[in-house]
Amino acid sequence: MSESGVFLDVRPLRESAAFRRVFIARTISIFGIGLLMVGVPIQMYALTGSSFLVGLVAAVEGAASMGGMLVGGILADRYDRKKLILFARTVSGITFVGLAVNAMLADPSWIAILVLSLINGLIGSISIAALFAVVPTLVPHEQLVGVGALNVLSARAGAVVSPALGGVVIAAFSVSWNYWVAAIGTAITIALLAGLPPLPAPTGRAAGGSDDPTEPLPAEEVSVLAFIAGHRVIGGVMIAGVVAMLGSGLLVLVPGFVDERFGNDSRAAGLLYAATAVGAVIATVTSGWLGRLTRPGLVLLIALAAGFAAQAVVGLAGVLVVAMLLLIVAGAITSVQEVLRYSLIQTHTPEHMLGRVNGLWAAQEVAGASVGALVAGAVGGLVAPSAAIVAYSATLCGVALVLLVVLGTLRRATATTTLDEDTAVSA
């Protein structure tokens, strides 16, 4: 697939051996996470019969992951990123082995599952922020759109395939096999990542400052929030990201919508859930044109509003095929703005802050998705599911249109916006 056409830009994979290692390792990790997403709740419920405890494990791991991403971002800007990544992946592998051994006991401990899930969420997430910080140093900036598209593609494919694979493994063997497969996959990722070139702590953190990572950072660099608030492009992307993740709350309304419109047919629910992933795959495979945009910030904001508009129309659909097509469109548009958010953040963030900014960005996306699910569920409790889809998505579309007007600097942003443009007051 040529980078000069409309198809996915594969130059990062073709030209950077280091990025290939990171991409393959990340893809394997995504599949491992999918296996755990199936194995942990199934085993927890089998041991306790408690949906509350199943939810507790998910909540604890989610909160730990958010904390790990934030901490990992700070550490990635202070210490050797390669060592940090290998440490975090090794700890994750040990927790997977622990889960496997626990599952093989005559009387497995649900407390062990809770503790090991917490450790994995906290320490394992450190590597996510560190890997995000590393990638922009491995490929040229003009290839970051392709990197973003490849990341979205692997994440969507993993989200569809790995849970199904986990269910097959459990049915054919046992839940302990899920954990062993995840542990073996982690060992492979460690071997791949060990082959990366040296990735020392970034230098030049401040004009005239020391490169010694053990020395305190200047006050103006400690606060990543202050940097984001003062950087009109990064700040705008972060705001757009929060609104985008709130939109994922639509998924919690799908079961009720299917019950209302399509006779509670589980096959219809499955097709609707898969439709957004199909749209994402189509968009990423044909994402070559995104790398040639002169105003990626403008396209990002338009895509944000257009995606919510497509979601709103889903609530009006009375035919399953129509609802599926609309969700395919919404999924494709959402992936376009995901790719552009990624590339803009990596391009406009100084190297010495990549860890902290990416850590906050990753944590923000997890939090935004959780809040979106809660809010959408609350709206669905007040009105019919179809009306909730229309009202929730239309409201977010309105918010996105406001952002299109207000975030002037992001609207004008290019891949090479100057510092003065980045920090200018939006209009």
Residue 115 φ/ψ, nearest 5 degrees: -65, -45
CA–CA separation, 381 vs 375, rounded Å? Answer: 10
* Per-residue pLDDT at 163: 67
386 in the same domain as 341: yes
**55-67 per-position pLDDT tens digit:** 677 777 777 887 8
Residue 105 belongs to domain spanning:
11-199
395 in the same domain as 260: yes
CA–CA separation, 149 vs 139, rounded Å? Answer: 14
Look-up: residue for tokens 């598209």? 149
- Alpha helices (H) along 49-80: 51-76
368 in the same domain as 296: yes
pLDDT over 50 (residue 26)? yes
Confirm whether 214 is domain-assigned: no
284 in the same domain as 352: yes
Tokens of 20: 């290939």
Confirm whether 288 is domain-assigned: yes
Over residues 410-423, the mean pLDDT reads: 63
* Per-residue pLDDT at 307: 93
CA–CA separation, 25 vs 191, rounded Å? Answer: 9
Closest CA to 33 of 117, 94, 102, 91: 117
Over residues 266-283, the mean pLDDT reads: 79
Structural contact between residues 95 and 375, judged by C-beta atoms closer than 8 angstroms: no
Instruction: DSSP letter for 384, please.
Output: -
Between 262 and 217, where is the model more confident?
262
348 in the same domain as 277: yes
Instruction: DSSP letter for 251, please.
Output: G
pLDDT over 70 (residue 204)? no
Q: Which residues contact 164 (CB under 8 A, 6 or more apart)?
A: none
* Per-residue pLDDT at 397: 95
pLDDT over 90 (residue 358)? no
189 in the same domain as 237: no
Structural contact between residues 68 and 122, judged by C-beta atoms closer than 8 angstroms: yes
Closest CA to 413 of 305, 326, 294, 310: 294
Tokens of 228: 């984001």
140 in the same domain as 187: yes
CATH number of the CATH domain containing 65: 1.20.1250.20
What secondary structure does DSSP assign to 77-114, as a single string? TTS-HHHHHHHHHHHHHHHHHHHHHHHHSSS--HHHHH
Confirm whether 238 is domain-assigned: yes
Look-up: residue for tokens 């700070």? 74
Three-class SS state of 9? coil
Over residues 109-116, the mean pLDDT reads: 90
Q: Which residues contact 328 (CB under 8 A, 6 or more apart)?
A: 275, 276, 278, 279, 282
Between 184 and 212, where is the model more confident?
184
Confidence of residue 159 (pLDDT cuts 50, 70, 90): low
Closest CA to 12 of 101, 143, 116: 143
Domain total of the chain: 2
Structural contact between residues 411 and 276, judged by C-beta atoms closer than 8 angstroms: no
Between 351 and 395, where is the model more confident?
395
187 in the same domain as 299: no
374 in the same domain as 295: yes
Confirm whether 209 is domain-assigned: no
144 in the same domain as 15: yes
Instruction: DSSP letter for 263, please.
Output: T
CA–CA separation, 415 vs 345, rounded Å? Answer: 10
* Per-residue pLDDT at 106: 87
Structural contact between residues 409 and 232, judged by C-beta atoms closer than 8 angstroms: yes
Low-confidence winner among 216-220, 303-307, 371-375, 383-387 (lowest mean pLDDT): 216-220
CA–CA separation, 76 vs 349, rounded Å? Answer: 14
382 in the same domain as 284: yes
Q: Which helix (H) or strand (E) holds 145?
A: helix 144-172
Instruction: DSSP letter for 413, please.
Output: -
Confirm whether 107 is domain-assigned: yes
Structural contact between residues 229 and 217, judged by C-beta atoms closer than 8 angstroms: no
Low-confidence winner among 130-139, 158-167, 312-321, 337-346 (lowest mean pLDDT): 158-167
144 in the same domain as 112: yes
* Per-residue pLDDT at 208: 36
Last residue of one domain, picked from the residues 150, 168, 199: 199
* Per-residue pLDDT at 4: 47
CA angle 280, 282, 288 (to 5 degrees): 105
Confirm whether 205 is domain-assigned: no
CA–CA separation, 365 vs 66, rounded Å? Answer: 9
CA–CA separation, 201 vs 296, rounded Å? Answer: 30
CA–CA separation, 103 vs 49, rounded Å? Answer: 16
Confirm whether 216 is domain-assigned: no
* Per-residue pLDDT at 427: 35
Cα 69 off chain centre by: 11
Confidence of residue 221 (pLDDT cuts 50, 70, 90): very low
Q: Considering the chain, what is the average pLDDT of its residues?
A: 80
Last residue of one domain, picked from the residues 163, 184, 199: 199
In the Cβ-directed half-sphere of 298, how many Cα atoms lie within 13 Å? 6
Between 109 and 33, where is the model more confident?
109
Tokens of 150: 């490849």
**303-345 per-position pLDDT tens digit:** 999 999 999 999 999 899 999 999 999 989 988 888 888 888 8
Confirm whether 4 is domain-assigned: no
